[in-house]
Structure 1
Amino acid sequence: MFRLLALALAALLLGATAQAQTPVERHGRLQVSGTHIVDQAGKPVTLRGMSLFWSQWQPQYYNAATIKRLRDDWKITVIRAAMAVDSGGYRANPDAEMAKVETVIDAAVANGIYVIVDWHAHKPHAKEAAAFFARIAAKYGALPNLIYEPYNEPLATHAWKTLLKPYHQTVLASIRAADPDNLVVVGTRTWSQDVDEAAADPIADPNLAYTLHYYAATHKQELRDKAALAMQRGAALFVTEYGVTQADGGSSIDEAEARRWWDFLEASGISYANWSIADKDELSAAFRPGTPGDGTWTEDQVTRSGKLVRDQIRAMNAD
């Protein structure tokens, strides 16, 4: 009798311990296996979370309080630091932008979640990107939390073979010199939509996925078909940015299409981060204008987009 009670108590304690584990404690360093991202035990992992806005324009959310609230309340397992490169970003103010990124990384580590370090640019700056990621990899590369995104959204005019692939190989070499293990997610042509093209001419690296971006009210089945084709060609995908709105961030929300996308991502085992944690006056922002940046926002300060996305994340990350 007492032995049975002891065994039952031990099982409950083990279950409580498992539940208390953070996402990084549970999954460890992420790896690409075939067309999927898997954890340290080789089990498929789907991360669900949020992207911060351009760092130079919405710096108030680049802090530990915001990240903790998103982890505790929204149940995110990944946060994306969208470090601006141009328009007053890193190229003009490297120390200030680096400090914002490091604050987010430190907060993600403290909260046991994954963090995407995003070189948020539309134009290539290979030398500067390589130097930036070399610094990040040297300082944080030993941690399993880190995910690198070396080029947010290349333009349609940026050819994969002659510009983007060589760019990524240059930046990847600087990362791998200090960090041979963590996941790298590389941007693809046409605002990171031409994943099928990249999959047909892949970059040689054992732990690399391709970035897919979409906005549900603009990009529909045709883009899902491109994603499916990329996976058929052997590529692993990661949606580092998406919205439930039009691609311009405004105009309209398409909830039905957003749910079709979520169903596709879940069925395909593709991780996703929503754009964005911001109080900009546009439909894609998670917050209404004036929402505080200290983690104390109220329910009525969360937008329709924010509530849809939060409900999806909480439902899927319930375990």
Structure 2
Amino acid sequence: MRAPHPSLRRAVAAAVLSGVLLLLLGLVPTGSAHATVTPRAAATPVAANGQLKVCGTKLCNSRGNPVQLRGMSTHGTQWYPHCLTSGSLNALANDWKADVLRVSTYVQEDGYETDPRHFTELANSLVQQATDRGMYVIVDWHMLTPGDPHANLSRARQFFTDIAHRNKDRNNILYEIANEPSGVSWSRIKSYAEQIIPTIRAIDSDAPVLVGTRAWSSFGVSEGADESEVVNNPVRASNIMYTFHFYASSHRDEYLATLSRAAGRLPVFVTEFGTQNYAGEGADDFAMSQRYLDLMADKKISWVNWNFSDDHRSGAVFKTGTCDRSGPWTGTAPLKPAGVWIRERIRTQDDFPTA
């Protein structure tokens, strides 16, 4: 076995120190320190593709080639931080071969508003851990209720200011500024985006920004609209994408057709989907889910599945109790049927998207 390269030794030493400091501060769960990072054998997604940018309707790598990222979203970090350990993240990067981790920081529901410093540092820790493993990372401002993003405008300004200052020099971060707006007009969401995006751009000018769409990020379909309102009145900013969410058992052909049309006119990133109903529970509809995945592969739409936890619902990939037992994390034994299915579809891609 070769001795490790000096730069690798320095990186590991820095990771150990960072992990120890975070543990002493009580900002990350035990077991998620960086000291046990397992690097990929081959080039990582970030090493292969570098800084991402939006080119036309596609997400492109540093060479201007379209890429499709595939990965997983955390559940709310206020509830399931113990599912995000060095072992589980090693499995996501190396066993699942995921390109991207979405870090879901809930605003309400015992989330960010209760302890901004803690949840900001927890998000930063997970960004670091994704970086250590060569994955891209989406920082998700998981506003849900209330559905008007303006209700959390000042909190969002502070959160993204803090996150961007810490991570502005990274080439693997994307900012998702509003998870699922609902009960508000597209113009209201657009107004919010045009206030938050400059806050980020003043600090981090390179990272793509992901903008939620009306009616739980359905391009308005769930409230009787469609993508035309965004096509005809886009956000006044560059290097942005619009998000679309679906749950295959509930969201059928009308939603699939909307995604197909929208992706022909707009840059779209599916930052959340499930194979179950809209609550992430109930029976899996793998046939409908595969129709979505086939469309997204054809149009190179990046996607993230919900969710990387052991919640009791069928949409959580791990069997209940896995996180409390700290694994095992690899293979299919600890997975529910949805986990087995989605892991296979992440693993079947190349080690990194270079098309």
Same fold (TM over 0.5): yes
> Which of 181, 194, 198 is residue 173 of structure 1 equivalent to?
198
Map 1:193-212 to 2 at 5 A: 193-194=218-219, 196=227, 197-212=229-244
Q: Deviations over 1:247-289 (max 9, x none)?
A: 1111211011011010000001100010001111111010111
What is the Cα deviation at residue 318 of structure 1? 4.6
> Which of 226, 250, 264 is residue 295 of structure 2 equivalent to?
264
Map 1:51-90 to 2 at 5 A: 51-90=73-112
Where structure 2 has 5 or more consecutive residues not aligned to the other structure, the ranges are: 1-40, 221-226
Is the partner of 2:184 in helix, strand or coil? Answer: coil
The 1-side partners of 2:128 and 2:47 are apart by 16
The two structures, once aligned, show a CA RMSD in angstroms of: 1.6
What is the Cα deviation at residue 95 of structure 1? 1.9
The 2-side partners of 1:85 and 1:199 are apart by 29
Q: Deviations over 1:62-118 (max 9, x none)?
A: 343322220010000000000111011001111221122112100111111100000
What is the Cα deviation at residue 300 of structure 1? 2.5
Give the residue type in structure 2 aligned to 1:164. Answer: I
> Which of 32, 51, 55 is residue 33 of structure 1 equivalent to?
55
The 2-side partners of 1:51 and 1:148 are apart by 14
Where structure 1 has 5 or more consecutive residues not aligned to the other structure, the ranges are: 1-18
Structure 1 length normalisation: TM-score?
0.90
Is the partner of 2:273 in helix, strand or coil? Answer: strand
Give the residue type in structure 2 aligned to 1:221. Answer: D
Where has structure 1 moved over 6 Å in runs of 4 or more? none
Structure 2 length normalisation: TM-score?
0.81
What is the Cα deviation at residue 140 of structure 1? 0.3
The 2-side partners of 1:249 and 1:312 are apart by 18
Q: Counterpart of 2:155?
A: 128
Q: Counterpart of 1:221?
A: 253
Is the partner of 1:168 in helix, strand or coil? Answer: helix
The 2-side partners of 1:77 and 1:91 are apart by 30
Identity of aligned residues (%): 35
Contact kept in structure 2, 1:239 and 1:273, CA below 8 Å: yes
Is the partner of 1:81 in helix, strand or coil? Answer: strand
Q: Counterpart of 2:267?
A: 236
Contact kept in structure 1, 2:153 and 2:192, CA below 8 Å: yes
Contact kept in structure 1, 2:44 and 2:351, CA below 8 Å: no
Q: Counterpart of 1:288?
A: 319
Q: Deviations over 1:42-64 (max 9, x none)?
A: 10110000000011111212343
**Cα 1:236–1:295, aligned 2, differ >3 Å: closer, same or farther?**
farther
Is the partner of 1:238 in helix, strand or coil? Answer: strand
Give the residue type in structure 2 aligned to 1:220. Answer: R
Q: Counterpart of 1:91?
A: 113
Aligned length: 299
Is the partner of 1:301 in helix, strand or coil? Answer: coil
